[in-house]
Structure 1
Amino acid sequence: MRPQPGRLRILIAALAGAGVLAAGCGDGGRSSAPDPAPSDSAGTASATPTASPSIPDTPVGEQLRWYLGVVERGAISQQEYEAHFAGEFLRKVPLDQFNTINRGLAGMRLTGLRATGRNGLEGTVVVGGQTFTLRISVNDAGEIDGLLVTLGGSDRPTAPASWAELDRRLREIAPRVGFLAAEVTPAGECRTVHAVEPGGPRPLGSMFKLYLLGAVAEAIGRGELDWDTRLTIEPELKSLPSGELQDRPDGSEVTVAEAAKLMISISDNTGTDLLLHRVGRRALEERLPDVPGNAPALTTRELFVLKGVDHPRLAEKYLSLGVEGKRAYLRDTVAKTQLSRFVLWREPRRIDTVEWFAAPQDVCRAFADLAELADRPGLERIDEVMSANDGGLGLDEKIWPTVWFKGGSEPGVFDLGYLARNSDGKTYVVTALTSDPKKAIDEGMATGELLALIRGAFALVPHG
């Protein structure tokens, strides 16, 4: 695991890399598949038109003016992309990913702006009636080296000053919470610094993709595949957003490395299912915690069918079966069910039975296992994959040069997990798992609040 300078900071809506069901703030009218990303009413802004703020005639102002135009156009060429962004940013964010993110921001309107130093600007924007914070920065050459779009206004919640304050605020987010702040020892063990119910299994959403990345890395280590192995995008393997691979032509190819990076950085569900198909369901099950609900380990497409097609009939039949019966049902019935019949759900739906599950302490071990794998020859690209998106955490890069992120969400589930290594070489994991089986979690509130709590946890962990 190596430090990654110029860490990518792109966060769209309720964390583009967060969940199975988080796909930015809608499809902008351009997506051919139904967007399973529900939006809360939190953060809704007035629809009354207001005058746009004045953008300064400075290098960062010019880049902001250009970027707002890009969002309006929807897509740019590789040549134009390279002309505006710093090299490190370009290496971490493929053009297809950049354009996909911007499609989710169609209709963006700047409503407020202030300077943040000589090379930075912070503003408020409105997209689809929701208020977001936009932060942009440039390097000394005038190239964009930081871009962040997050839910909520610029007055973000403050970090907690103590563990007691963190615990109190955490329990206000959802009725069921699990939390762990731990140091990862040189032996790869998670030494607890602070915890709230760290041993209870919780629904993970897309955080299960940490375990799948581990299974992929193990297969690469055994020589069964390589980062450059090509995967074919077959129609039966296409899932729903979040992601972009579902929009590529049938029969097109993607490398293991690209699928893995998209799976983690923007939670690409089709990339996830391609990798799961390649390594096999059993490989994922061997890495997931041995708790009820994790066998058989679902693909994202299977979860969408069980929760979004002819519900509750398919889900009830599935849950009535034993493990082997469920395997057969997934193969013989769910696999043959068309996603064209999918209907979006907006309230919690079987989050304790049709999901992937782990406790906060399990998630810490998953991060620690990936860190250990990343130090093995040939598996160093795990660091590149996991560092692609810091999930909006915004830790000081001089103090925390390496940050890994994965989150997960669906209605009633909102989870965030981070591994960070500081400049002293110490590694910590902080993860928060929140859920509510009765109503959807207000992600407009929960995003900023959880980020503040986790940011505070990283400030507190060195002191115990």
Structure 2
Amino acid sequence: MRLALPRNGGHRTIVAVVVALGLTACGSVDPLLESGAARGAATTSAESEPVERPAAAVTPVADTLLGWITTTDPLSIDPVAVDALATPELTGELAPIGGLLGPIAQIQQSAPITVTDRVDEGSESTVTLRTGRGTAVTLRLAAEGGRLAGIQALPDTPDVATFADVDAALLALGARTSFTVSRVDAGSCTTVHDLNSGETLPLASVAKLYVLGAVARAVDAGTLTWDEPLTVTDARKSAPSGRLQLAPEGTVVTVREAADAMIAISDNTATDLLIDRVGRAAVEAEVAATGSSDVAALTPFLTTREFFLLGWGRPDGRAQWRDASTAERRQILAGIADRTIDSNPVDPATADLDYVGIATRPATADGIGWYASGSDLCAALASLSVGPQNDVVRQILAQNPGGQFDPTRWTYAGYKNGNAPGEVAGAWLLTDTAGQDWVISIQLASDTPIGPLDNAYAFELVTRSSAFL
């Protein structure tokens, strides 16, 4: 589950901006920088006398940006100064994620950030960073006219040749980890690699697979159609990610459009529209229908609005939820049914949600969210692959393949990811050229945040493992 605090001038705070995984955004930048090509340091002859050279044009720009990225007090960062550092072109490119503050916040989510190497040459700087979880990151910057014109941050993923290599690299992140690879035949999973596949861990937005299954089952039963209209209301809007939370009251989308948005961009308001339409009981029944080994872990099945209100509402419901029974939890949900979320708050300090807490305070320890094992994730995707409306379902899942897969090996890639504070999850349904289906899943859980850079590092490792099949 990815969150982006809307941009409201001086009210923005860096720790409240948690956005999409991709950190690449370029203005008028050399294509080598845009593509992530490596930069080398300038060389000089050993016989030459040392010559004092003027600072590279990028140096003052890089100094300022790195100061913000490595600060231990992100609240001290002035959003006005951040805006002033970027060229208008770069600001435009980054507008969907809150301007330059967006990538700074993304990198800060993996704090503490340290600089381990840096080469400034002309208008370009190549910096090696290390996240608090030990992930090495290459940060490339480009300057133009004394301002930042391009920024790219990519994790440096090690070469892996076996599943064991992937296991070791994932475990080095210091989170509770599940990494499961399975062959799928006629809707049944056979595990071919198992790292804690039976451990129940958070799903974040990967839980939306169960919503998709419930919707497809309702369409197949004739109680719902893909083109049925759904109406967005302010009372039922959720927090980001997505776009529908910003849609005007009364906006109409079809069931298919909502399902597309739920999977492709993890639209939370679209998800809740679908849950409201088919009913919570139908989604819980879908969990059981997939053969889940721990139905109780997804009962009651939360809407995303409930997830945010319980975890970071003002007041939150953590203490009540933590040790409550299933029946008591249903009563808690009934008690917050009329609470709303202002999806575009004027001032985060008085917003319905604690946006700073969303960035820094995981709810996993309080049991708030959606939970399943790697084996259960395989069962869910296997069920979708052969279940009701599976042709449409596979189209929906394939909108975002979640990585690059060798087209000579793979003819299909379906995907759903999930992110919440301290939670990372991803699940892929792949079909090889022989028509064999496979499922790969990863789950990371921690009582401290897992930043987008560490997330991207883990996902790159996992998608590379498809080469071992």
In the aligned structure 2, how far is the partner of 1:129 from the partner of 1:433? 36
Which residue of 2 is the match for residue 351 of structure 1? Answer: 364
Give the aligned length. Answer: 361
Point out which structure has higher relative CO (alpha carbons under 8 A, 6+ apart): 1
Which residue of 2 is the match for residue 323 of structure 1? Answer: 326
Displacement of 1:252 in angstroms is 1.5
1:436 to 446, 455, 460: 446
Displacement of 1:415 in angstroms is 1.2
Report if aligned partners of 1:52, 1:111 keep a CA contact under 8 Å in 2.
Answer: no
Letter in 1 for 2:2: L
1:383 is the counterpart of 2:368: no
Secondary structure at 2:179 match in 1: strand
Displacement of 1:349 in angstroms is 2.9
Q: Deviations over 1:230-252 (max 9, x none)?
A: 10112221101000011111112
In the aligned structure 1, how far is the partner of 2:311 from the partner of 2:8? 24
Displacement of 1:112 in angstroms is 8.4
In the aligned structure 1, how far is the partner of 2:224 from the partner of 2:183? 32
Higher fraction of helix: 2
Displacement of 1:303 in angstroms is 0.8
2:417 to 407, 410, 416: 407
Report the structure number with the largest CA radius of gyration.
Answer: 2
Normalised to the residue count of structure 1, the TM-score between the two structures is: 0.69
Normalised to the residue count of structure 2, the TM-score between the two structures is: 0.68
Tell me: CA distance 1:172–1:368, structure 2 relative to 1, closer, same or farther (3 Å): same
Displacement of 1:36 in angstroms is 9.3
1:303 to 301, 307, 312: 307
- Give the % identical residues: 28
Displacement of 1:402 in angstroms is 0.8
Tell me: CA distance 1:209–1:159, structure 2 relative to 1, closer, same or farther (3 Å): farther
In the aligned structure 1, how far is the partner of 2:339 from the partner of 2:30? 54
CA RMSD of aligned residues (A): 3.7
In the aligned structure 2, how far is the partner of 1:259 from the partner of 1:434? 27
Report if aligned partners of 2:178, 2:196 keep a CA contact under 8 Å in 1.
Answer: yes
How do 1:254-403 residues align onto structure 2 when only pairs under 5 Å count?
254-288=253-287, 289=292, 290-312=294-316, 314-336=317-339, 338-339=341-342, 340-344=351-355, 345=357, 346-352=359-365, 353-373=367-387, 379-391=390-402, 393-403=403-413
In the aligned structure 1, how far is the partner of 2:142 from the partner of 2:241? 21
Which residue of 2 is the match for residue 456 of structure 1? Answer: 464
In the aligned structure 1, how far is the partner of 2:241 from the partner of 2:22? 21
Secondary structure at 1:396 match in 2: coil
How do 1:180-191 residues align onto structure 2 when only pairs under 5 Å count?
180-185=180-185, 187-191=186-190
Q: Deviations over 1:340-384 (max 9, x none)?
A: 4211213343314111011001001111111112xx5x5522122
Which residue of 2 is the match for residue 6 of structure 1? Answer: none
In the aligned structure 1, how far is the partner of 2:15 from the partner of 2:300? 23
Tell me: CA distance 1:287–1:70, structure 2 relative to 1, closer, same or farther (3 Å): farther
Displacement of 1:396 in angstroms is 1.9
Q: Deviations over 1:276-328 (max 9, x none)?
A: 0001111111223434442211100001111111355x221234543223223
Which residue of 2 is the match for residue 199 of structure 1? Answer: 198
Letter in 2 for 1:208: A
1:104 is the counterpart of 2:85: no
Letter in 2 for 1:385: I
Letter in 1 for 2:400: N
Secondary structure at 1:335 match in 2: coil
Tell me: CA distance 1:216–1:33, structure 2 relative to 1, closer, same or farther (3 Å): farther
Report if aligned partners of 1:157, 1:452 keep a CA contact under 8 Å in 2.
Answer: yes
Displacement of 1:33 in angstroms is 11
Secondary structure at 1:183 match in 2: strand
Which residue of 2 is the match for residue 82 of structure 1? Answer: none
Secondary structure at 1:401 match in 2: strand
Q: Deviations over 1:389-415 (max 9, x none)?
A: 122x11122321211111111111111
How do 1:5-404 residues align onto structure 2 when only pairs under 5 Å count?
20-23=1-4, 27=6, 29=8, 38-39=17-18, 53-54=29-30, 73=92, 103-104=96-97, 106-107=99-100, 133=152, 152-153=153-154, 156-185=156-185, 187-288=186-287, 289=292, 290-312=294-316, 314-336=317-339, 338-339=341-342, 340-344=351-355, 345=357, 346-352=359-365, 353-373=367-387, 379-391=390-402, 393-404=403-414
